[in-house]
Chains A and B, each alone.
Chain A
Amino acid sequence: DAKTTQPPSMDCAEGRAANLPCNHSTISGNEYVYWYRQIHSQGPQYIIHGLKNNETNEMASLIITEDRKSSTLILPHATLRDTAVYYCIALVANAGKSTFGDGTTLTVKP
């Protein structure tokens, strides 16, 4: 699995968009970018994933650069409940394992 690099922490004002970056410069062509988040003491929650096209679901949007070396998770209107550790993972789609890094601790402030 390609190594991913994320900033250790970020703050965001409630109601504003939260943009969480992830660097995966060694990603290979068959590796997807997955995002999960973990709210304190709970299991990680799947958010979104993509290969090369931008993706959007009810939770978030994922923007992947054309060269696929980095991506950004966008929470369009952050709420206090979005405070969590966000993990970006690059892995081959047929792998039932995920290599989690340290993630980004997002703190949404009122």
Chain B
Amino acid sequence: ETGVTQTPRHLVMGMTNKKSLKCEQHLGHNAMYWYKQSAKKPLELMFVYNFKEQTENNSVPSRFSPECPNSSLLNLHLHALQPEDSALYLCASSQEQGFEQFFGPGTRLTVL
């Protein structure tokens, strides 16, 4: 595997389900990010992790719970989501201060 990978690529879940999105970067980077991309809206930064520590949480509802087991892996645990949470969820990584972010292919999430 190279670059940034995300699984699953598509996910349909009900409002009472618990699911997880997974992201893995194979670039040796130290920073990882979760973004939400909804139709006709700019990318919304959700969480930032630097060296496995969360450094930013942009007022994301607690039904989204990130987890960073190591500097290469970033999970997003989902519970009790709402239909308005349906979107493309993008993971990215970068060197700590490198700024260039490399993105995964995204997970298309649909909440019924």
Co-complex (A, B):
no
By a beta-carbon cutoff of 8 Å, the part of chain A in contact with chain B is none
Chain B interfacial positions (CB closer than 8 Å to A): none
